[in-house]
Amino acid sequence: MVRCHLTVIWLKLIFLLQGISRNHSDAFKVFAMNEVSIEKPSLVAEIPNAESVSVFMDQVSDLIKLVDSRDIVELQLKQLDRELVIKKKEALPQPSTSAPVFYAPQTTYSPQPPTTNVPAPTSSTPSASPAALPAPAKPKSSHPPFKSPMAGNFYRSPAPGAPPFVKVGDKVQKGQVICIIEAMKLMNDIEADQSGTVVEILAEDGKPVSVDTVSVLLFYTHHSFIFNS
């Protein structure tokens, strides 16, 4: 009985991934290489009902979208005796290792704040705020953020397949175009408002960014370069 349920969930999860990949073709490769599996049915003490399965799947779906939309390479959640790990291709040392996903129907998952630039998984407790997506802004005063000046779709390169305007580690001069934001077919070349080094790119290519929230932080630049100009 338990196994039967899990099979259903597993299939759903696969569909989910495919669905996401379809919608964001640029994410396809990443997702196709993702490994998500569900193991250890023995951990499940109670047989889940349909509703809780659905709720759980929605939560997992949100988490996967979250991981997909950010520069998060690996997300690991531990709650009570259950654990959920979502790894992107980049996080997998060998293609053979699969990341276990432990299923827990009664558990409410809250995404943890993204840990950036950390290749190895860090175990951390889920954040206290439910539902809300974590703010990607990591308060790092030495890295002033570049905020999106407008809402629209964020593009990293001037044309599909073309090299991106900037990469992490690039030194950017004030006035250099760093991305395109498109809204209602109106293309906006966005120039850097100060010189600096790209520490991290938080927005995902082809995905919407907003002007209102802190989630629009695109770039961190080093102070040391700001004063060079």
Partner 1 sequence: MLFVTSSPRFLSLIKPLPFRSLQNLGFSPKNLCLSTKMESESSTKLVLCGKSAVEEELARCLKTNNALKLPDGSPVTVCLHSESDSAGNDNDDVFRVNSYMNSISTSRFGRLLVYSPRLASTHDVVANNFGELPIGSVCVADVQLKGRGRSKNVWESPKGCLLFSFTIQIEDGRVVPLVQYVVSLAMTEAVNDVCRRNGMPSLDVRIKWPNDLYLDGLKVGGILCTSTYKSKKFNISAGIGLNIDNQKPTTCLNAALQRLGYAANQLQREDIISAFFNKFEVFHDIFLCQGFQALENLYYKTWLHSGQRVIVQEKNESEDQVSENVVTIQGLTPSGYLLAATDDGQICELHPDGNRYT
Residues that bind partner 1 (CB under 8 A): 12, 15-16, 18-19, 22-23, 61, 148-153, 155, 157-160, 162, 175, 177, 180-191, 193, 211
Closer to partner 1 by CB, 30 or 92: give it.
Answer: 30
In the complex, least distance from residue 5 CB atom to partner 1, rounded to whole angstroms: 18
State whether the Cα torsion 176-179-184-185 is positive or negative. positive
Closer to partner 1 by CB, 22 or 140: give it.
Answer: 22
Give the CA count within 13 Å in the CB-facing half-sphere of 100. 10
In the complex, least distance from residue 176 CB atom to partner 1, rounded to whole angstroms: 11
Closer to partner 1 by CB, 131 or 184: give it.
Answer: 184
In the complex, least distance from residue 113 CB atom to partner 1, rounded to whole angstroms: 27
If you ran DSSP here, which 8-state letter would residue 21 be given?
H
Closer to partner 1 by CB, 105 or 152: give it.
Answer: 152
Note whether 215 and 221 are within 8 A (CB). Answer: no
If you ran DSSP here, which 8-state letter would residue 35 be given?
B
Note whether 104 and 112 are within 8 A (CB). Answer: no
In the complex, least distance from residue 195 CB atom to partner 1, rounded to whole angstroms: 13
Closer to partner 1 by CB, 15 or 227: give it.
Answer: 15
In the complex, least distance from residue 111 CB atom to partner 1, rounded to whole angstroms: 20
- Cα angle value 90/91/95 (rounded, 5°): 80
In the complex, least distance from residue 63 CB atom to partner 1, rounded to whole angstroms: 15
Q: What whole-number distance in Å separates Cα of residue 37 and Cα of residue 19?
A: 17
Following DSSP, what letter does each residue of 44-63 receive, concatenated?
--SPPPHHHHHHHHHHHHHH
If you ran DSSP here, which 8-state letter would residue 127 be given?
P
Closer to partner 1 by CB, 54 or 97: give it.
Answer: 54
Note whether 172 and 195 are within 8 A (CB). Answer: yes
